[in-house]
Amino acid sequence: MIFESDHRASEPTLVGSAILSGNQGQIFNILRDPTSWGQAETPRVVNAIEQSKIVFSFDGEQKAVSTVSAWNSNVTELELVMSGTVANQVGQAQIKYWNEVVSMLQKRLNGPPIVVASSPGKVNVYFAVGAFLKDGFHDVASCYQALNLREKVLVELTGNFSIDFAGPFEKESQLLVPKDRTNLVYRAGQELKELGSAMGSDKVSFLIHKSVPIAGGMAGGSADAAAALVALNSLFGSKLDEKLPEAAAKLGSDVPFSLMGGTAIGVGRGEVLSKVDDGPALHWVMTPNPAGLSTPQVYRQLDIMRINQGIDVSALEAPEVPEELLEAIASGDVAAIAKLMHNDLEIAAVAMLPELADTLRAGQKAGSVRSMVSGSGPTIAHLAKNAIHAEQIATRLKAAGYPSLVTYTSSSGTRLEN
């Protein structure tokens, strides 16, 4: 169970999650009875809510909140939030304790072994589009930042290929995301096979837990692909860790960054990456749009708009990310970041979907430091001053008819979760 700082909280807080092979009700009942855990220290149950949330207290000082949510009838996610930090002994002791509890749960559930990997969505703080290249792509310069919104991919060797969905965007995924061999998670297995894996995706069942808006310019599909690479590499015992970036680049321009995480500069098609300092976490509010936009069509629209202005799109200079922006990110200077944020694709996305201009104005009216189209859109990213400000912006946007997600930047790339 991997714990990280929870930047939603006003005081030092850790958050971690575990994906378990078992029924939600069964897991909740075990957690509600700490005396059955077999641990040296037994917390008191302060509150237990509808088979989903339990608040624990340790000697009236340390508290922990567990949330249990079902992916389906056989897979359950356990999230734990507790006060503390990984930097001190108390935090390390709590992490050790809860990992022992998770191990106990796994033994008592006695479910089949599963392999799960997760990968972050992203926001483009800066995105410049240069020349249209002969291979049909564009020369770009991007500053990517990973978000704590993570796609999770469970892989299981079942003898048949299948894809199913869970999570906050399950319904949209069932309608909009392909469940055949065109999905990037299937292609991830085939790329591993090309690199020497004994198996591909033909006999694997994928369960994708969707937390990133669909077709929203936040690289949810690329995150799925990166997570599938790591999960399948583990499932197959392929030992191709060092070759995964090579496979990622073949799957799409954003997949290598999904694998890397943190903050990075991307050039070429966006896949040639240089990691840079993260700095303090930035807080964002993301407003999805159900319409969706095709990334190639947004690029095409930008080319048309430039050509109409008399610009030779094949002769543009190679774009660069301003050094001043990287310095502002490293120092956490939100005001400076807001001034330097930029996205060449924004005008094209708004031209294709004019209602995005209303969402941008709504973000400004809600108090965002800066609002901008995320990547190729149509999700709008609103930069906030801090966690509390982000919650305020999201509340105001929701009241104005724009349901939004609160998130923050993360240093984590793709990783195994179990």
Catalytic one of 122, 193, 210, 243: 122
Check residue 178 and give its pLDDT: 95
Residue 287 shares a structural domain with residue 258: no
Residue 316 shares a structural domain with residue 349: yes
In the chain the first and final C-alpha atoms are separated, in Å, by 7
Place of tokens 């591909």: 200
Query: For every residue of the chain, which 3-state class applies, written as one string?
Result: CEEEECCCCCCCEEEEEEEEECCHHHHHHHHCCHHHCCCCCCCEEEEEECCCEEEEEECCCEEEEEEEEECCCCEEEEEEEEECCCCCHHHHHHHHHHHHHHHHHHHHHCCCCCEEEEEEEEEEEEEEEEEECCCCCEEEEEEEEEEEEEEEEEEEECCCCEEEEECCCHHHHHHHCCCCCCCHHHHHHHHHHHCCCCCCCCCEEEEEECCCCCCCCCCHHHHHHHHHHHHHHHHHCCCCHHHHHHHHHHHCCCHHHHHHCCEEEEEECCCEEEEECCCCCCEEEEECCCCCCCHHHHHHHHHHHHHHCCCCCCCCCCCCCCHHHHHHHHHCCHHHHHHHCEECCHHHHHHHCCHHHHHHHHHHHCCCCEEEECCCCCCEEEEECCHHHHHHHHHHHHHCCCCCEEEEECCCCCEECC
Reported as a pLDDT band with limits 50, 70 and 90, residue 216 is confident
Percent pLDDT > 70 in the chain is 100
In degrees and rounded to multiples of 5, residue 83 shows phi and psi of: -70, 145
Average confidence (pLDDT) over 218-226: 96
pLDDT digits (tens, 9 = 90+) for 9-63: 878 899 999 999 999 999 999 999 999 999 989 999 999 998 899 999 998 778 8
Residue 187 shares a structural domain with residue 201: yes
Residue 206 shares a structural domain with residue 339: no
Residue 239, exposed/middle/buried by CB under 10 A (0-12, 13-18, 19+)? exposed
Residue 136 shares a structural domain with residue 270: yes
Average confidence (pLDDT) over 89-108: 93
Check residue 225 and give its pLDDT: 98
Quote the domain boundaries for residue 125: 116-277+412-416
Check residue 62 and give its pLDDT: 81
pLDDT digits (tens, 9 = 90+) for 347-373: 999 999 999 999 999 999 999 999 999
Domain limit, last residue, from 79, 112, 145: 112
Residue 158 shares a structural domain with residue 270: yes
**Catalytic annotation on 164?**
no
Percent pLDDT > 90 in the chain is 86
Check residue 271 and give its pLDDT: 84
Distance CA 22, CA 75 (A): 5
Domain limit, last residue, from 112, 146, 167: 112
Domain limit, last residue, from 70, 95, 112: 112
pLDDT digits (tens, 9 = 90+) for 252-290: 989 999 999 999 999 988 889 999 998 999 999 999 998
* Cβ-contact 130, 316 below 8 angstroms: yes
pLDDT digits (tens, 9 = 90+) for 321-335: 999 999 999 999 999
Catalytic one of 139, 224, 254, 344: 254
Residue 197 confidence (pLDDT) above 90: yes
Average pLDDT of the chain? 94
What is the domain-level CATH number for residue 201?
Answer: 3.30.230.10
Check residue 11 and give its pLDDT: 84
pLDDT digits (tens, 9 = 90+) for 108-161: 999 888 899 999 999 999 999 999 988 888 999 999 999 999 999 999 999 999
Residue 308 shares a structural domain with residue 206: no
Residue 125 shares a structural domain with residue 268: yes
Average confidence (pLDDT) over 184-212: 96
Domain total in the chain: 3
Check residue 39 and give its pLDDT: 93
Reported as a pLDDT band with limits 50, 70 and 90, residue 91 is confident
Distances in whole angstroms, Cα of residue 249 to Cα of each of 50, 73, 82, 145: 44, 35, 37, 18
Residue 106 shares a structural domain with residue 121: no
Average confidence (pLDDT) over 230-256: 94
What is the domain-level CATH number for residue 50?
Answer: 3.30.530.20
Contacts for 292 with CB less than 8 Å, ≥ 6 apart? 176, 214, 215, 216, 378
Residue 337 shares a structural domain with residue 293: yes
Residue 132 shares a structural domain with residue 262: yes
Residue 51 shares a structural domain with residue 166: no
Distances in whole angstroms, Cα of residue 322 to Cα of each of 9, 139, 342: 31, 16, 10
**Catalytic annotation on 33?**
no
Residue 86 confidence (pLDDT) above 90: no
Which one has a higher pLDDT value, 91 or 370? 370
Nearest to 165 by CA among 176, 290, 114: 176
